[in-house]
Structure 1
């Protein structure tokens, strides 16, 4: 177990409001909306599961529905952490403590990044509250995050190079995101170096010099371009808090994350259009289309990239006009976490 002095978060991903007065909180509609949403769940009990599984399943298959319901806990603890930072109300901190301890002592990482991508919310909740949590919870969270990150790094590093399949498409983006967020949060130098190395490797594997992604070639869908890039932008935001500019980090091939965002921008602005999944090489895409799931046929809806571009705007302000055109306000958690676009 880590010592009390070692168990603390260091990333500070969110530029969250620092213990505002009640008058200031009430004057900010974004903070007020988030606080009100958390308040309605302040007495909820956590619903941790040992396993989660949604990847490759349709609604009502396997444990998909139960997993999605349980995952709501992860976003709730993140939002409660933000509400505590904004108001200083100890009830929100106690909620984070209960949920964080329950999940980090119950869940067993599967190292399936699609099933586990939403653990970014747990990492953020810990990052926001670690200094005020009981030692027992801090130690449990540090151990859990360390186990998850080390497991993902070990899994990637045992793969033959060059990386192929799900180790170069969107799955790898989600692995890299969890590695980066976890490594910076627990301030592990070895894992931070691994995150940097794997991020650059993935940019080279996934993004062509013109900005097109492997996922677009495989799936013929902008849905998967967005799904591929959003975790990479989130990883870059984690790195930015440590003065690392991953947006412009260049792979040996010459590719950069900024190139991929620039490639997607004309589609987001409606200057280009795309019919989704027409030539996808993945059978599950056809299965979802036949099941009538929205978004798996017809033209891509640019608004589906709104959160991606609102996140990207926190890295580089030139993406702010795109984000605002897609949605006039960012998601509530982001509006409180990082209220201002970068310059």
Structure 2
């Protein structure tokens, strides 16, 4: 083995040792790495390791404690429009934890090469891909972004059976959403222009770039631009703010669009400043929210919402559906946005000193 190869293996082993110190284990690093569309390249730079390590250790601990978990896939998830304890809300919420676990396990495998985490991803991916039947309700299915990301990070190392099942599922999900949006009359209205559409666009974009499907990629960009034009006004205000009178829904609307833009960025496409026909951009929408995130403006939530379910949730005592918006609720959005542009780094750090653990390991450093 040459000196360069020795150096590369030593670097990977050092990272693995760092991350696994808290778990008390160390497994030699394998050379099989999957190509990624959203997360940073596997061979993280020293500065990225330093930035990610403390949070990564916590992520490793949490996933290590669940290494022997078995998947509990459901054929259907449903939380949209329901309160806790109604219908299958609680069961769906519990099952969704599987999706986050496979993403986190994929991140730990990516960072360490420990095959036990790849095996966890393998069994969870296969179980969900062969059990779940898409309903094409984007609110119920938005958390499948975690499953797509798990596949994206591990695809090249998965058994053929799992890779084929997962890729077929992801393609079915994305194409189904595209077909449903394309069947709508123009201009798009209702849930085809509010936050629901943002979540559709996110799933389509992540699937498209993960599968490297040219037709889907073109559809994803087309739908992204259309959603910016339908949802964002030239001054940056969103349809969801008008309908719901709540910054809660502005963040819920913009987060999926930022994630879609992050997936596109890995393929050298800058969707942050991609301009719709009305002149709106994702950047304008984020900039509109910034004064509220910085505390320069305040907002009483849901006072004039036109959606009856908002009042129902307020009456049920769910947090966040009355009173002044807490800027910290925008922390994840701005930490995501900071990975697109350095203009959002300061506000992200002001809202929370560290990003969510999965994001800190996926993309340790903000953009410049």
Alignment TM-score, normalising by the size of structure 1: 0.95
Runs of 4+ in 1 over 6 A off after TM superposition: none
1:316-343 CA distance string (max 9 Å, x none): 0110000000000000000000000000
How far has the Cα of 1:28 moved from its partner? 1.9
**Is residue 189 of structure 2 the alignment partner of residue 164 of structure 1?**
yes
**Is residue 329 of structure 2 the alignment partner of residue 329 of structure 1?**
no
**Equivalent position of 1:258 in the other structure:** 283
Q: Decide whether the 8 Å contact of 2:35 with 2:153 is kept in 1.
A: no
**Equivalent position of 2:259 in the other structure:** 234
Larger radius of gyration: 2
Aligned counterparts of 2:345 and 2:42: Cα–Cα separation in 1: 21
**Equivalent position of 1:30 in the other structure:** 55
For the residue of structure 2 that corresponds to 1:139, the secondary structure is helix
1:191-237 CA distance string (max 9 Å, x none): 00000000000000000000000000000000000000000000000
How far has the Cα of 1:11 moved from its partner? 4.5
How far has the Cα of 1:18 moved from its partner? 3.4
Structure 2, unaligned runs of 5 or more: 1-32
**Equivalent position of 1:276 in the other structure:** 301
How far has the Cα of 1:19 moved from its partner? 8.5
Aligned counterparts of 1:70 and 1:125: Cα–Cα separation in 2: 16
Aligned counterparts of 1:338 and 1:220: Cα–Cα separation in 2: 32
**Is residue 103 of structure 2 the alignment partner of residue 86 of structure 1?**
no
**Equivalent position of 1:306 in the other structure:** 331
Aligned counterparts of 1:20 and 1:76: Cα–Cα separation in 2: 25
Q: Decide whether the 8 Å contact of 1:220 with 1:277 is kept in 2.
A: yes
**Is residue 233 of structure 2 the alignment partner of residue 204 of structure 1?**
no
Give the aligned length: 334
**Equivalent position of 2:83 in the other structure:** 58
For the residue of structure 1 that corresponds to 2:142, the secondary structure is helix
Out of 234, 244, 248, the position equivalent to 2:269 is 244
Structure 1, unaligned runs of 5 or more: 1-7
Aligned counterparts of 1:36 and 1:175: Cα–Cα separation in 2: 33
How far has the Cα of 1:12 moved from its partner? 2.5
For the residue of structure 2 that corresponds to 1:141, the secondary structure is helix
Out of 165, 169, 180, the position equivalent to 1:140 is 165
Judged with a 3 Å threshold, the aligned counterparts in structure 2 of structure 1 residues 37 and 17 are, in CA distance, closer, same or farther, namely farther
